[in-house]
Structure 1
Amino acid sequence: MTGPDNSGAESDTGRTEAFSDGILAIVITLLVLDLRPPNSPAGHLLSGLLEQWPGYAAYVASYAYVAVVWLNHKATFRRIRRADRGLNWLNLLVLFSTALLPFPTTVLSSALRRPDQADRRVAVATYALVGVVLSAAWLVLYHYLARHADLLQDTAHDRFFRSERLRALVGVVLYALAGIVGFLVSPLVGLGIFVVLPVFYGLTSGGLYQLRPFAR
């Protein structure tokens, strides 16, 4: 007789990374579908294109966000030796949250093209909510890896995932702040935060612990 079949309980990360790359590629492709030629009269194409600037800004913010997710994902799984069932589920949670991005991007782009300020506020809050959910998903994933050193490469820095929890928490706080400011003060201020935040995450994609004072 043989023992219980534990196949799939733990595995190398190759299939997980390939699946994740495919999902992120689809998400980043869906973002561009919201960019359409303007419905402008003859001779007014330039003004029509310029009037669509909210769509361009929303696209840039979301494209940069997905790009940062991809960089984070690579940096994370480069330090993982094997994946267990818990890690696979949390990775799916990150992908689920990322796959939501095209929806609030379209909502935000559409609302900013209209003069109704109430719709703009709701659209910014909706985008911020997805940002909070995605950052929270990373926070849970990093916390799991910080508690399961047996899944990590022997060369993985022991402070990496502990410090990355702070980095994810910054995202939760700042996206929530962007939503609150965008809803209560100005939607354009919220949009500005959405554009700037991926810059921070792009600069720190190799790990927050490498920056001072974390490198000490």
Structure 2
Amino acid sequence: MGTGQGGDDAGRPADAVRPGGPDLRSETSRLLAFSDGVFAIVITLLVLDLQPPDVGRGRMLHALVEQWPAYLAYLTSYLYVAVSWLNHRTTFHRVAGSSRGLQWWNLAVLSSTALLPFATSVVSTTMQHGDRSDQRAAVAVYGLVGVLLSGAWLGLYHYLGRHHDLLHPAVPTGMYPAERLRALVGVVAYVLAGLLGFLVAPPIALIVYLALPVFYASTSEGLYGLRRRVRGSG
């Protein structure tokens, strides 16, 4: 992951924009603005896959009900994008500086997120009109996109864990090394769901795909935040 060690300060990436430096505000604000734009476009593309059925008179209600796979695919992906946006905002609100490596990992997260409309369309189309072989392939494709996205988050958390100097001083040192576990859960879960959907039954994969955004929503503030809430309620 070319971290570019070797700046003026020991352990600081040579390409880092230092916290408090003159370019900090513009670098972090531009990164967030661009990222928010990508998330907004992805959500817009998701809804474009929902089309009114082309049917004869008197068959609209039945045709709308038959489109349930499209609604389920949209809901699953919308929740995933929404939770990814929440995770992204939470992550970068803790960032006090920027670096080229951080920017590349952020682009990796965005590029894999941008694949979700394609995977969603494949699943909704094949679940409505494809045979069992097509459906197996579709859930495998969705699982692959999930693995890529979770892997990108894993890389981002790993990078921030190694470059704590880019974070606000109040952020605990062990936060992002611990956050890698959340991303790793996604990698493993999407691999298993994709395999089970392809080899056993596609609905198994769909259930896991819908459940994963719920897990990430409940931990959107990070495992540290979840741990505090659990202790506070105990």
Is the counterpart of residue 191 in structure 1 residue 189 in structure 2? no
- Scaled by the length of structure 1, the TM-score of the pair is 0.93
5+ long unaligned stretches in structure 1: 1-7
Query: One-letter code of the match for 1:138?
Result: W
Q: Give me the whole-angstrom Cα distance separating, in 1, the residues matched to 2:128 and 2:74.
A: 14
Distance 1:209 1:215, change over 3 A: farther
Distance 1:19 1:59, change over 3 A: same
Please list the CA deviations of residues 83-108 of structure 1 after superposition, one character each: whole Å capped at 9, or x if unmatched.
10100011001000000110010000
Partner-residue secondary structure (3-state), 1:169: helix
Partner-residue secondary structure (3-state), 1:158: coil
1:83 paired residue among 98, 117, 121: 98
Query: One-letter code of the match for 1:156?
Result: V
Q: Give me the whole-angstrom Cα distance separating, in 2, the residues matched to 1:211 and 1:20.
A: 25
Aligned to 2:140: 125
Query: One-letter code of the match for 1:157?
Result: P
Q: How does 1:89-104 map to 2 (within 5 A)?
A: 89-104=104-119
Q: Give me the whole-angstrom Cα distance separating, in 2, the residues matched to 1:115 and 1:105.
A: 14
What is the percentage of aligned positions where both structures have the same residue? 58
Partner-residue secondary structure (3-state), 1:211: helix
Q: Give me the whole-angstrom Cα distance separating, in 2, the residues matched to 1:189 and 1:149.
A: 39
- How many residues of Structure 1 are paired with residues of Structure 2 in the alignment? 209
The alignment yields a C-alpha RMSD, in angstroms, of 1.7
5+ long unaligned stretches in structure 2: 1-14, 18-22
Are the aligned partners of 1:159 and 1:209 in contact in 2 as well (CA < 8 Å)? no
Distance 1:36 1:50, change over 3 A: same
Distance 1:147 1:215, change over 3 A: farther
Query: One-letter code of the match for 2:211?
Result: V
Q: Give me the whole-angstrom Cα distance separating, in 1, the residues matched to 2:79 and 2:54.
A: 27
Aligned to 1:18: 33
Over 6 Å off, 4+ runs: 213-216
Aligned to 1:29: 44
